[in-house]
Structure 1
Amino acid sequence: MFSCLSPGALGLTLDHTDAVDLASSLGFGGVDPDPSYFSSLPSRQAVVEHGDAVREKGLRWGIAGLPIGLDAPAEEFRQALAQLPDALDLLTAAGVSAVGTWIRPMHEDRDHRENWRLHVGRLALVAELLADSGLRLGLEYIGPKTFWSTERFPFIHGIREARELIAETGAGNVGLILDSYHWYTAGESAEDLAGLTDADVVSVDINDARDDRERDEQMDLDRRLPFATGVIDLDGFMGAVRDAGYTGPVKVEPFMKELAEQPIAQVLTDIRERTDRAIGAV
């Protein structure tokens, strides 16, 4: 495992080159890629050289966002699917090895069975294109009841169904994005992570929850820094991740706007120390 700087997940706005430099100077093991920055470079070769420069700083890539919505309207999905190979080419040029997205855990009109069929079919298509580019796909389930209960038909919001969905696609390059917040709000324990392997996990996010709310009252975008409250059993969560033999990125994802009001080096040093503690590097 390695600590990964993900400015967006922290609620920070950083130029990509600044994020790379800060990740290197403050002791992170990696940094999230920025496809928009790759697109701004003058050539594919320039993207290759940028990826080489990042690795020369001792950094590894985290995951990029999948530029296609799995539950998007049909025409929008078709257009995004047609554009996907070009986007993936820039990622592979930079040396990125994985992308990720989340499963919307409810729908107002589409019932569970219909939504399941839609996701299986679309995931199979997307996974095939990613496999052609040598890329993995991480899927994140969303746990808070305050979110998945807001529309008529709840959908996948726990690890069991997420794994069943992945298995049904038959794709060997699709795995999980494990997030301690969603794991906690889904009412899961370390036992639910037992049996996972490195091949099953694409990325890991860590955070804590508010200590003045019950589990089913927690809001998706109102989180706390890892180890801040102790509501989430991060030791148990990360122990299960270690038992899986996981080797990929671990990032902090609290979406806290107040972090942007503090000195950047101070914030990121604290984030790196919390991540190292979770990984077991300190």
Structure 2
Amino acid sequence: MFSNLSMGALGLTADLPTAIDLAAKHGFGGVDPDLGYLSGLGGTSAVSEFASSVSEKGLRWGMAGLPINVTAPGTEFAQQLAELPAKLEVLNAAGVTAVGTWVRPMHDELPYRRNWALHASRLSLIAELLADSGIRLGLEYIGPKTFWSTERFPFIHSLGEALELIVEVGAPNIGLILDSYHWYTAGESADDLEGLSDADIVSADINDARDDRERDEQQDLDRRLPGATGVIDLDGFMSALRAAGYDGPVKVEPFMKSLAEQPVDDVLADVSARLAKAIG
């Protein structure tokens, strides 16, 4: 495993070159790529040259965002799918090997099985294009009940459901984005992670939960830094990742607005230290 800097996940703003410099300065092992920035470099040769400079700083790429909205209206989805190969060419030139997205855990109009069929069919199309480019797709389930219960039809919000969807799609390049917060709010334990392998996991996020709320009261966008409260069994989560032989990026995603009000170097020094302690 390696510590990975995602400025957006910390609620911080910086262009990719700045994020790269900050990641190197504070001892991170990697940094999330920015497809928008890479696409603006003027061609694959320039992208490859830029990626080489990242490697020279001792950094690896984390995970890019999937540039497709899986639940978009049909026409919009078809257009995004048609535009995907050109974007994958940029990611290939940069040496990016993974993209990720989250599964919206509810829907106002589609019952569970219809929503399941929509996801399975569309993810199959996306995974095929990604496989042609040697890129993996990570899927993140969302655990908080305060989120998935807000619309008429709850959808996937647990590890078991996410794994079932991956099996149904049947693409070997699809795996999980495991987030300790969603794992906790879904009521899961280290036992639920037993049996996973590195091939099942694309990326991992760590964080903690507020200690003044019960599990079903936790809010998706109001978390704490890993180890801050001890509500989440971070040792159990990380031990399960080690047992799985996971070798990918681990980032911090607390959604704490207060971080943006602090000196960025102070925030990143703290986050880097927490990641180093968790990874061991």
Please state which band the TM-score falls in when normalised by the shorter chain: over 0.9
1:79 matched to which residue of 2?
79
TM-score (ref. length: structure 1): 0.98
The 3-state SS of whatever aligns with 1:91 is: helix
Mapped partners of 1:14, 1:226: distance in 2: 22
Alpha-carbon distance, 1:41 to partner: 0.7
Amino acid at match of 1:169: V
Separation of aligned partners in 2, 1:134 and 1:15: 26
- How far apart are 1:196 and its partner, in Å? 0.3
Matched residue, 2:128: 128
What 5-or-longer segments of structure 1 have no aligned partner? none
TM-aligned CA deviation for residue 265 of structure 1: 1.1
CA drift of 1:183 comes to: 0.2
Aligned to 1:18: 18
Distance 2:261 2:185 in 1: 28
CA distance in 2 between partners of 1:15 and 1:104 (Å)? 27
| Cα-to-partner distance string for 1:215-236 (whole Å, 9 max, x where unaligned) | 0000000000000000000001
Q: Structure 2: which 5+ runs fail to align?
A: none
Q: Within 2, Cα distance between the matches of 1:166 and 1:23? A: 32
4+ runs of 1 displaced by more than 3 Å?
none
Distance 1:36 1:171 in 2: 27
CA shift at 1:258, angstroms?
Answer: 1.2
Counterparts of 2:83 and 2:42 in 1: how far apart (Å)? 19
- Counterpart check, 1:92 vs 2:85: no
Instruction: Give matches, 1:22-101, under 5 Å.
Output: 22-101=22-101
Aligned partner of 1:225 in structure 2 is 225
Amino acid at match of 1:248: G
Displacement of 1:190 in angstroms is: 0.2
Does the 8 Å contact 1:105/1:154 carry over to 2?
Answer: yes
- Measure, in 2, the Cα distance between the counterparts of 1:150 and 1:76: 25
Q: How far is 1:26 from its partner? A: 1.2
Secondary structure at the residue paired with 1:208?
coil
| 2:152 is the counterpart of 1:152 | yes
More displaced 10-residue stretch of structure 1: 256-265 or 214-223:
256-265
**TM-score, with normalisation over the residues of structure 2?**
0.99
Deviation at 1:139, TM superposition (A): 0.1
Instruction: Using the TM superposition, give the Cα deviation of residue 36 of structure 1 relative to its aligned residue in structure 2, in angstroms.
Output: 1.0
Q: Secondary structure at the match of 1:49?
A: helix
User: Residues 63 and 98 of structure 1 are in contact (CA less than 8 Å); yes or no, is this contact kept in structure 2?
Assistant: yes
- Worse overlay, 36-45 or 126-135: 36-45
Partner of 1:271: 271
Give 1:71 deviation, angstroms: 1.1
Root-mean-square deviation (CA, aligned residues, Å) is: 0.6
- Counterpart residue identity of residue 223, structure 2: R
